[in-house]
Amino acid sequence: MSQPKTKRRVGKYEMGRTIGEGTFAKVKFARNSETGEPVALKILDKEKVLKHKMAEQIKREVATMKRIKHPNVVRLYEVMGSKTKIFIVLEFVTGGELFDKIVNHGRMREDEARGYFHQLINAVDYCHSRGVFHRDLKPENLLLNANGNLKVSDFGLSALSQQVRDDGLLHTTCGTPNYVAPEVLNDRGYDGATADLWSCGVILFVLLAGYLPFDDSNLMNLYRKISAAEFTCPPWLSFGAMKLITRILDPNPMTRITISEILVDEWFKKGYKTPVFEEKEDTNLDDVEAVFKDSESLNQENHVTEKKEEEQPTAMNAFQLISMSKGLNLGNLFDGEQEFKRETRFTCKCPASEIIHKIEEAAKPLGFDVHKKNYKMRLKKVKAGRKGNLNVATEIFQMAPSLHMVEVRKAKGDTLEFHKFYKHLSTCLDDVVWKTEEDMQETK
């Protein structure tokens, strides 16, 4: 396979494809060129951070996260910066999202759900004891590693999706309020610890029930249900599980159950083992202060020179291809039954320019604004759905001179709405998608 003409490096890290996007940040897959270790590289726009007066808060939380080395929290390795960007190097977790298990297989047995809840509470308790609060716990932030263990991502960095207003308090700006505590929705400021715990209760309910405790297509009705803690536990839950969920989903943060009380709850204690892990105190924090300085003040280790993007599809080597799959089995990369995923891929033998034209033709009649930059596209739905405006990002990779891989992922909005869009796109692209002889036989 051909290599890209230029490679963008951040220190010792070689940058690859985009694997996530948000209001303030973009996350790219990267590889440590010295060890070969895969990492996730979170890229922040320094101008946006400074504009929203978040620099000091980010410095503080990044410094704290560097000290947090817990088996159920995604590790933060180091921070680098340029004149315009901040680069946060994070552990790359390959097992997908915990939420995918629910959507694909339905609700969990109580023992299985309890095991994941043990890990979630362990992570939350550890971070709270060090003054770090998530503020935006939801399924997208609960990942699984290759061994199936829970990893909470963005712990302490979720403030990047928050805005501090003139009153000096935090105010949530997330588009999916189903997991948010009543005091957060009241918009009067809130305590991070009790708000996190409410979100943990919603997550436990979803694991055990298979659906959300608070859900309504009308946003005002949803807010009312959350504020009143208006929910009903399904009949298959044990009394112990119902009791714990009810104590967590207490709309009054002053009387809501605390983590110390959860740890002695009879339902929670079943099968619980206190986590044992080694902590190291010799964390170097020099890079945290350095990233907000001008590029001239940064040393070589923390500085990256920004380059223009290539004017041809990014070439993908074997290592990058494997990194997109769970393990070494590449079959799930191009599986036609990729249900309930936030990204999907297909291969195509036609020129990259033709692929872009086809995607544009499919998206515009559905009410999407199309923004193109080289061989990447951003499709923005003009009309808002139940979870805001759907944004879809696409990127074309060159696997061989006459073979391309197209990645389509949800950047923002409702996952189910994204799947409806992808099914329509699949129909429109049916004549250009590369099929094997076996695929052709199956369609006959």
Catalytic residue (one of 45, 100, 111, 136): 136
pLDDT at 5 over 50: no
CATH architecture assignment, domain 314-443: 2-Layer Sandwich (3.30)
pLDDT (tens digit per residue) in 243-296: 999 999 999 999 999 999 999 999 999 999 888 877 665 566 666 666 666 544
CA distance 73 to 153: 6
Max mean pLDDT among 224-228, 384-388, 401-405, 440-444 falls in 224-228
pLDDT classification of 199: cutoffs 50, 70, 90: very high
pLDDT at 69 over 70: yes
Task: Indicate the range of 27-36, 257-266, 399-408 predicted with least confidence.
Answer: 399-408
pTM over 0.85: no
> Which residues carry a binding-site annotation?
42
pLDDT classification of 23: cutoffs 50, 70, 90: low
Q: Does 100 qualify as catalytic in the annotation?
A: no
DSSP string, 110-179: HHHHHHHHHHHHHHHHHHHTTT---S---GGGEEE-TTS-EEE-STTTGGGGEEE-TTS-EEE--S-GGG
The upper half-sphere exposure of residue 355, i.e. CA atoms within 13 Å in the direction of its Cβ, equals 27
CA distance 347 to 407: 9
The partner residues of 152 in beta bridges, in order of sequence, read 73, 142
Q: Beta-carbon neighbour count of residue 260 at 10 Å?
A: 8
Q: Per the structure block, which two tokens stand in for 25?
A: 């940040």
**CA-to-CA separations, 203 to 67, 102, 199, 330, in angstroms, rounded:** 26, 11, 6, 31
pLDDT (tens digit per residue) in 98-148: 888 887 788 999 999 999 999 999 999 998 888 888 888 887 789 998 888
Structure confidence at residue 300 (pLDDT) = 47
Share of the chain above pLDDT 70, in %: 74
pLDDT at 438 over 70: no
Q: How far is CA 258 from the centre of its chain?
A: 27
With vertex at residue 257, the alpha carbon angle to CA 253 and CA 151, rounded to the nearest 5 degrees, is 100
The yes/no answer on whether domain 98-269 falls in CATH 1.10.510.10 is yes
Determine the 3-state secondary structure of 334 from DSSP: coil
Q: Beta-carbon neighbour count of residue 246 at 10 Å?
A: 14
CATH fold for the domain made of 11-92: Phosphorylase Kinase; domain 1 (3.30.200)
Kindly report, as residue ranges, where domains of CATH 3.30.310.80 are found in the chain: 314-443
Q: How far is CA 260 from the centre of its chain?
A: 28
Q: Which amino acid is it at 435? A: K
Structure confidence at residue 55 (pLDDT) = 78
> Which residues carry a binding-site annotation for ATP?
42
Kindly report, as residue ranges, where domains of CATH 3.30.200.20 are found in the chain: 11-92
